[in-house]
Structure 1
């Protein structure tokens, strides 16, 4: 009887120490943008320090702002052992480059740099300069060999900003899932991964912003709301990053083949995929490719779904929605 009593006390004490599962939300600043993460923690533990450690691990590999990162050493042709994160991103980047006929290209860095942020250096850009940069740019000019990155030209530089942020979302989601968080949403600067359901028992709902130049400094208006069911989403858009010259709008996306900003009617591309790294890269590639070619690329890949916002000849907004994406749309706005 005494043994039974002590065992009962022990079980009660253990049960009392266990915290109930609860949804926890974290936010902060990383990669020059804001992140939001919400997850059902099995024992109510706040995992923000661990989440930020995961994101910083990627920073040490792919940040061009950190002179000691793997990608910075590669760009400076310094001897370095390529880490697993770098290799994973590089291989996927090369795959998307092939699938999009070079519209996505992580060697575009020299062209992006010469134009400057917000095209502040556009007066300095000449056809001769662009021609010289074309010798350095091209995803076929870099490859892996025995664990090393080989370049056809030593001045070729890599910039993984259009794919790494999506991969960071995947890393955070994978970490949380490994900790028993089956219901989660990880968002970094607009790239999103969602698993399971939210605190209300519903699938996670994600808004797609309406492209409106007049809303630059005001609250963004939504064009649509999509329901994420264990998938990832990434959006790329030119409508808030452009300059106008002689009545022509020049977008912020650089075409790796021409070296110049793209000019077409496509204003926003949203991609659904099984992982955010893929969605992120595709969204950027589609902003380079334009509407018709992007639709053809998307239709050829059954693993992605897309939502495109474009401008018709009269300047009105139109949308192209793939069949798979249409099934997940909860609401569309005018």
Structure 2
């Protein structure tokens, strides 16, 4: 269900070259707004701004914001708030933070909506299969080990209360990597808007949000990357960002992040309901939303549920989603009616 820093790059995949170079309007140093960027959450982030002048000390503010989020939500830092929560005894309320609840509450909503296909307590299974902070195993986990890990999974055993309380009713290990990057992008967008900058593109590991227009008035353009290993970098669809004020996009797929055991390829996408990587033929799911957090979470949820169950939920919830599925002859696309409102027709022969 989640990928880890340093393993086959990020979880969300789109044509970043289109999104942050040719398709942006603030990569012209002559306009005084060179892009900002750096490392965060085991991946890279970029910020493009088309507001003049750019807010002072923006780079330092972004760094501080992202550091604060990692200090709360990283499973790779033993001193993070989330790591302390994972080690906390069951049955006791832990003083958390409003930021952590701002992520956990939507996660619980997604879990209930999907009957557990999305579940941030899936951490024991993620770690068991080698997609977490621990080293990857040398072989497929034994059925008994999978069963034991599943005993430590279950969003129903996590209780939240405002303003900032979390309680576990059984031993749980929470992993927020399916939703935390989206949350961080939203927080970066809020920082920019709060500084009076209403024209920007923000991206972390492929999770992306745009607002306003480029310098010169043209719309931002972001593209959905093909999952075909023979055509990585090809663009399947271009999102028409001028059709909505402020749009976020996230993609969940298995074509860049996987492990191999005995010649068999296993997706990093773990189904909490089975305890194993998904086995359907879905290659990727892209979701458009007004919130990157929700786009991020829904993309993972739909990818776990698969091309049939996931598509039905996306249509029922009026989600803008694109499903790319492997076929015997290549790949096929299936877009929800809502997704079709914001994108170009299929291109590059797909």
Pick the TM interval, shorter chain. Answer: 0.7 to 0.9
Task: Specify the SS of the correspondent of 1:143.
Answer: strand
Task: Specify the SS of the correspondent of 2:285.
Answer: strand
Q: Which residue of 1 aligns with 2:258?
A: 242
Q: Which residue of 2 aligns with 1:221?
A: 234
- CA change 1:144–1:264 in 2 (3 A) is same
CA positional deviation for 1:284: 0.8
Where in structure 1 do 4 or more consecutive aligned residues deviate above 6 Å?
Answer: none
Q: Which residue of 2 aligns with 1:187?
A: 203
Q: Which residue of 1 aligns with 2:85?
A: 74
Q: Which has the higher helix share?
A: 1
Q: Is the 2:73–2:176 Cα contact (8 Å) retained in structure 1?
A: yes
Q: Which string of whole-angstrom CA distances, capped at 9 and with x for unpartnered residues, describes residues 88-146 of structure 1?
A: 10001001111122111100000010111399316261111111111110111111146
Q: Which has the larger radius of gyration?
A: 1
The correspondence for 2:321, drawn from 281, 284, 306, is: 306
Task: Supply the distance in 1 between the matched residues of 2:329 and 2:172 (Cα, whole angstroms).
Answer: 39
**Quick check: 1:199 aligned with 2:212?**
no
Q: Give me the TM-score of the superposition, normalised by structure 1.
A: 0.86
CA positional deviation for 1:23: 4.2
Task: Specify the SS of the correspondent of 2:221.
Answer: strand
RMSD over aligned Cα atoms: 2.3
CA positional deviation for 1:148: 2.6
Q: Is the 1:62–1:164 Cα contact (8 Å) retained in structure 2?
A: yes
- Aligned pairs for 1:120-135 within 5 A: 120-121=136-137, 123=139, 125-135=141-151
Q: Which string of whole-angstrom CA distances, capped at 9 and with x for unpartnered residues, describes residues 62-112 of structure 1?
A: 111222221111001077521111011000100111112211110000001
Q: Which residue of 1 aligns with 2:39?
A: 29
Structure 1 segments unaligned to the other structure (5+ residues): 1-20
Task: Supply the distance in 2 between the matched residues of 1:92 and 1:122 (Cα, whole angstroms).
Answer: 35
Task: Supply the distance in 2 between the matched residues of 1:244 and 1:129 (Cα, whole angstroms).
Answer: 19
Task: Specify the SS of the correspondent of 2:271.
Answer: coil
Q: Which residue of 2 aligns with 1:280?
A: 296
Q: How many pairs does the alignment contain? A: 309
Task: Supply the distance in 1 between the matched residues of 2:54 and 2:229 (Cα, whole angstroms).
Answer: 42
Task: Supply the distance in 2 between the matched residues of 1:242 and 1:114 (Cα, whole angstroms).
Answer: 14
Q: Is the 1:236–1:270 Cα contact (8 Å) retained in structure 2?
A: yes
CA positional deviation for 1:317: 0.7
CA positional deviation for 1:24: 4.3
